[in-house]
Chain A
Amino acid sequence: MASLTIKNAVKRYGNVEVLKGVSIDLRDGEFLVLLGASGCGKSTLLNMIAGLEDLTEGEIMIGDRVVNDVHPKDRDIAMVFQSYALYPTMTVGQNIAFGLEMRGVPKAERALRVEQVAKTLRMDHLLDRKPAQLSGGQRQRVAMGRALVRDPEVFLFDEPLSNLDAKLRLEMRTEIKRLHKRLNATMVYVTHDQIEALTLADRIAILKDGEVQQLASPAEIYEHPANMFVAGLVGSPPMNFLDITVEAGEAGPAAWVTLRADGADKPVLLDLSAHTARLDGYVGRKVVMGLRPEMISQGTTDAGQCVQCEIDVTEATGADTLCVLNWNNQEVLARGTSGYTKILEGTMDFTIETERACLFDPESGLRLD
């Protein structure tokens, strides 16, 4: 096990800059998720850690060894690919043992370690099969086994779950989490699925256009997104963004929002006094208010400001019912009471937890702090 340090990594293909100076520092045993849309450079970064691509500038260190010019096989890393990349002509056992064989591990020890790994991943009955005879989930397990058997310093995962169906993905996600807990190994995991990122990571690095937008723990990223991009990417259903103009209210800053209720538009003054320090100097200016759906809950509670608004459409997902509201002529998602028991219709009470809202500068997109 080892720490992993990426210092100012830059990657250019000709004139195109794919990574613009990424710096990430990983503790020994930490689970880092690289999250971003396709083309953001996350897979390039992973390939660079693996040694499959060269850095244009910068430095990558595993432990206290600079590995820029170290061949992939000597970096002591193992990688799980999205396509699993199993060797099609070898059996499962041979697939798992191949890395050991190439490293000159004696046959008896190889067999022993393959058996151990197969037992851990509950696939000892599959060892004699060829990859073509396995299901997607089983192939995924073999790919993991191939990485595990090597007992490397760093594990790399390149969207390992995106070829699985929803149910298996959930199972394997838990499996990976359990694995990390047991091995306590340094892991880097690339995904575009924010739920995977939130559930697995110790820390998430969100990438966009080759730059790290935010590097923080899942809780930090969810509660205090650094900018509007991060806020919009993480969380499902996504955060609502409202353009508001800050006014000086009686108790502090406030903003007018037009709510649709009982068939008519009704202006309501939202109290933003919890953000007084943050909004210092913003009175009279436009800001963007980000409210997650669960910050607008159905019913009257003393957690925030109560308003009445009309429900346009409801979307029941089983666990919760999402309500589409109309604020400032814009769709706003709110989380209604759970279950199918209650009928949500017409104009009802909602509580807005304004003190939990995120406020962003509309020009830079950065969160006001």
Chain B
Amino acid sequence: MLTRPPVKFIDRIARALPQIVVAPGFAAILYFVYGFIIWTGYISLTKSKMLPNYTLIGTRPYERLFQMDRWSVAIENLFIFGFLFVFVSVIVGCLLAVLLDQKIRAEGFIRTIYLYPMAISFIITGTAWKWIMNPSLGLEKVIRDWGWESFRFGWTVDNNLAIYALVMAAVWQASGFAMALFLSALRSVDQDIIKAASLDGASPWRIYLRIILPSMRPVFMSAMVILSHLAIKSFDLVVALTGGGPGYASTLPANFMYEMTFRRNEIAVGAASAMVMLATVAAIMVPYLYSELRGKKHV
């Protein structure tokens, strides 16, 4: 009778090797990402103050969170900042890409210049723009020294304008990245389509508006998702550029969370704000991932 030869130990290992290799990383992600999400969610329902305390008190931290003016300012700021940052970056990036697409000289050099800000950390961007926008040593002083005595550019010290100063610095940093995304998409458009459109009698800007840009919809989606999550995570830029000030006029949720958790001994409220942020990100990412993973049929 035929018997199946025994599977050697080494063969079994070889067969399981992929799983073995992936396992540590998988375990680490499971513990450090999802584990801590659950932990934070739990903490947000406890009466933790300076140190974690595991006594559950229901949704009271959330109630306290939404009663705080600082939090509503932070949420409002996030909407202003996020909306302006994403749209201005996309529009500026798209314009730059279209302009760079005109077969100009030294394109590689110019492209690198526009893309470079993305390689700088937000802390440095923030510091540099803090100096530029500082009324007594930045742009305002320079222009006044040139003779325009009444020139004012005190955005960072103005309660109502500080958030727009953040938008300006963030757009400066991210629009080059958006440009690179759009440029590669522009380059991948079939040249025959452009030829066909110009034979059809379309002017160059109509070709862009009617044919090329609509065909780049997936890239617009990606750019918006990447930029939105940058906006929601923004923390270091605020710390470096305005410190959340004046007062708390330019606080963003991430700064709020840091402030509550590590400075004001309100760990539960900090955890609650973190959970609200997670929900916000999920609200953006889940529909996107869903539409992406469902397949590319309707692109």
Give residues in A with beta carbon < 8 Å to B.
50-52, 72-73, 77-79, 81-90, 98-99, 102-103, 132, 146, 150
Residue of B nearest to A87 (CB): B211
Contact in complex: B201, A102 (CB < 8 Å): yes
Given contact pairs A78-B199, A87-B193, a sample of 10 additional A-B residue pairs in the complex whose CB atoms are under 8 Å apart = A52-B195, A73-B200, A73-B202, A79-B199, A85-B193, A86-B193, A88-B215, A89-B214, A90-B211, A99-B201
Q: Hey, which chain A residues are within 8 Å of B193, CB to CB?
A: 85-88
Contact in complex: A89, B199 (CB < 8 Å): no
Measured CA separation A89–B201 after assembly (Å): 18
Measured CA separation A99–B211 after assembly (Å): 12
Q: Hey, which chain B residues are within 8 Å of A82, CB to CB?
A: 192
Interface residues of B in 176-202 (CB under 8 A from A): 190, 192-193, 195-202
Give residues in B with beta carbon < 8 Å to A.
190, 192-193, 195-202, 206, 210-211, 214-215, 217, 299
Closest approach, in angstroms, between the C-beta of A170 and any C-beta of chain B?
24
Contact in complex: A98, B200 (CB < 8 Å): yes
Measured CA separation A90–B200 after assembly (Å): 14
Q: Hey, which chain A residues are within 8 Å of B201, CB to CB?
A: 73, 99, 102-103
Closest 8 pairs between A and B when the two form their complex, measured CB to CB? A99-B200, A85-B192, A73-B201, A102-B201, A85-B196, A89-B214, A81-B192, A85-B193
Contact in complex: B199, A73 (CB < 8 Å): yes
Measured CA separation A141–B87 after assembly (Å): 40
Main secondary structure of the interface of A (DSSP, over half): loop
Q: Hey, which chain B residues are within 8 Å of A102, CB to CB?
A: 200-202, 206
Contact in complex: B217, A85 (CB < 8 Å): no
Contact in complex: A77, B199 (CB < 8 Å): yes
Residue of B nearest to A51 (CB): B199
Residue of B nearest to A98 (CB): B200
Contact in complex: B202, A83 (CB < 8 Å): no
* Contacts A73-B201, A99-B201, A103-B201 given; does A79 touch B215 at CB 8 Å: no
Chosen A-B contacts, 21 in total, with CB atoms closer than 8 Å, are: A51-B199, A52-B198, A73-B198, A79-B196, A79-B199, A81-B192, A82-B192, A85-B192, A85-B195, A86-B193, A87-B193, A87-B210, A87-B215, A89-B211, A89-B215, A99-B199, A102-B200, A102-B202, A132-B299, A146-B196, A150-B200
Closest approach, in angstroms, between the C-beta of B241 and any C-beta of chain A?
40
Residue of B nearest to A83 (CB): B192
